[in-house]
Structure 1
Amino acid sequence: MNKEKTAIILGATGLTGNILLNQLLNDSRYATIKLFSRNSVNIQHPKLEEHLIDLFELESYQKDFFADEVFCCIGTTKAKTPNQNTYKAIDYGIPVTASRLSKVNGIDTFVVISALGANPNSNIFYNKIKGKMEADVLKTGIPNTYILQPSLIGGNRKEKRAGEQFFKIIMKALNYIMVGPLKKYQSVDPEKIATTMVYLANTNFSSGRIKNNDIIDLAEKNDRN
């Protein structure tokens, strides 16, 4: 009989992270879900263990950072975080620090959300930061490292982003004609990202970058099983 596992989630108050949290709470393979975040998710559950901290000081909580798997759903936007230094501290600093803590504490599985177009040599600041994050997470050398590269993430966020919501509607309509090589540009539902994250952590899938079309395919495969 397999032992029940402990998972850590960073970013559980966000759209995808919150969906992931609910999936893990309802998954019998997991006995404990540790959350490291600034704000509470306001859920009472016997599996849940919340650590309300300043994520910029994550390395100070090494003694609590023990689990079988780490799921990192941290991310911000230019509109929400216009200061580039703060943006880098969130999208690069937190995931890389988490991966290094995972390595030191012997955690063998690290799953992180990046973005389509991530490239450390990009002239686009957002893509460049995501690319550098990916490279340094991989350098950590955690055996089972999965970097998801979704396109535009669908769903309804708590905060209102009128322009983004309109673009999501357009992208969802275009999904029907984005097939074959264009599938990697389809918008993707956060539920599919969360489902794929859990799937990857519980299979022998090859470590590395998981493209947008693979996120969609793996989620649909898991739903059929």
Structure 2
Amino acid sequence: MEISRHQKTALVFGGSGLVGGFVLRQLIAHPAYKRVVSFGRRKLDIEGEGLVQHVIDFDKATDYQHLMEGQDVFSCLGTTMAKAGSKEAFYKVDFTYAYETAKAAAAAGANQLMLVSSVGADRDSLFFYSRVKGELEAAIRELPLWSIHIFEPSLLLGPRQEQRLAEQLAVRLTRGVAPFIRGKVVGKYRPVEAEDVAKAMIAVAQGLQPGQIVYDSERIYEIANAGRGLIEG
């Protein structure tokens, strides 16, 4: 298997989301990538050299496998119960779409997968959200990929279009206390900037480390802040 370091093609699923938007913009500016291919339900208002956008039907992910030729896959698909409206709709996005696109990309020859999951992901959890995330992680681990990186951030900080005033105030407060939430026990619950999650995902993709690795919020923060040299080239 040939593992590329330069002139790579990145595949991005979920570029319209909070983390995915940062991933897209950072990849476009990254010197290691000659092409950035985005898959979504609508065309995004973003441009850049090497950016290709495909509007697809996620219910038929395998129909687009021929468009998924690339080395690094960034899976940022996800919704909320409030947006989805039901458990069934939530499961479709957070498990089915995320898994089927990753499986199709793996079948198309991808080497590495960077997956956004969540703190507390556990397929045996009593909580539906955490259980779905855990089921996804377990399924992803079975894919024939050289390298799988799973990111489990806690509360994501960043601009959201639907954010209410109360949520904005809560985010400001959370940003103030985040630096003090450290250590093995509580560090994984520290709030983290969505932009830092994107930075960490792209940074580890350049490390070319084989195997399956999980990153909690504290580790994400450390990589994002120590890995700026990798991200910038």
Which residue matches 1:199? 203
The answer to whether structure 1 residue 110 and structure 2 residue 113 are counterparts is: yes
The alpha carbon displacement at 1:224 in A equals 6.1
TM-score where L is the length of structure 2: 0.90
Task: Report the AA paired with residue 197 of structure 1.
Answer: M
Deviations 1:29-76 (A, max 9, x none): 111111100111122323111101122221111111111111011110
Deviations 1:7-46 (A, max 9, x none): 1101111111111111111111111111100111122323
Q: Equivalences for 1:53-202 in 2 at 5 Å?
A: 53-181=56-184, 182-202=186-206
Match of residue 219, structure 1, among 203, 224, 233: 224
Which residue matches 2:38? 35
Pair 164,58 (structure 1): closer, same or farther in 2 beyond 3 Å: farther
Q: Which runs of 5+ in 1 are unaligned?
A: none
Indicate if the aligned counterparts of 1:5 and 1:68 stay in contact, CA closer than 8 A: yes
Residues 41-50 or 138-147, more deviating: 41-50
Indicate if the aligned counterparts of 2:43 and 2:55 stay in contact, CA closer than 8 A: yes
Task: Report the AA paired with residue 94 of structure 1.
Answer: Y
The alpha carbon displacement at 1:183 in A equals 1.8
The alpha carbon displacement at 1:163 in A equals 4.7
Task: Report the AA paired with residue 199 of structure 2.
Answer: T
Deviations 1:72-102 (A, max 9, x none): 1111011111211110010001111122112
Indicate if the aligned counterparts of 1:95 and 1:137 stay in contact, CA closer than 8 A: no
Pair 2,39 (structure 1): closer, same or farther in 2 beyond 3 Å: same
Aligned length in residues: 225
Indicate if the aligned counterparts of 2:75 and 2:102 stay in contact, CA closer than 8 A: no
Task: Report the AA paired with residue 38 of structure 2.
Answer: L
Aligned counterparts of 2:45 and 2:97: Cα–Cα separation in 1 = 23
The answer to whether structure 1 residue 6 and structure 2 residue 9 are counterparts is: yes
Deviations 1:171-205 (A, max 9, x none): 22222331223221111001110000001111034
Deviations 1:90-145 (A, max 9, x none): 00011111221122112110111000000000010000000000000001131110
The alpha carbon displacement at 1:161 in A equals 3.8
Aligned counterparts of 2:22 and 2:5: Cα–Cα separation in 1 = 25
Indicate if the aligned counterparts of 2:141 and 2:212 stay in contact, CA closer than 8 A: no
Task: Report the AA paired with residue 199 of structure 1.
Answer: A
Task: Report the AA paired with residue 102 of structure 1.
Answer: A
Pair 2,172 (structure 1): closer, same or farther in 2 beyond 3 Å: closer
Aligned counterparts of 2:117 and 2:166: Cα–Cα separation in 1 = 22
Which residue matches 2:214? 209
RMSD: 1.7
TM-score where L is the length of structure 1: 0.93
Task: Report the AA paired with residue 207 of structure 2.
Answer: T
Aligned counterparts of 1:33 and 1:104: Cα–Cα separation in 2 = 19
Which residue matches 2:26? 23
Pair 162,88 (structure 1): closer, same or farther in 2 beyond 3 Å: farther
Q: Which runs of 5+ in 2 are unaligned?
A: none
Indicate if the aligned counterparts of 1:102 and 1:110 stay in contact, CA closer than 8 A: no
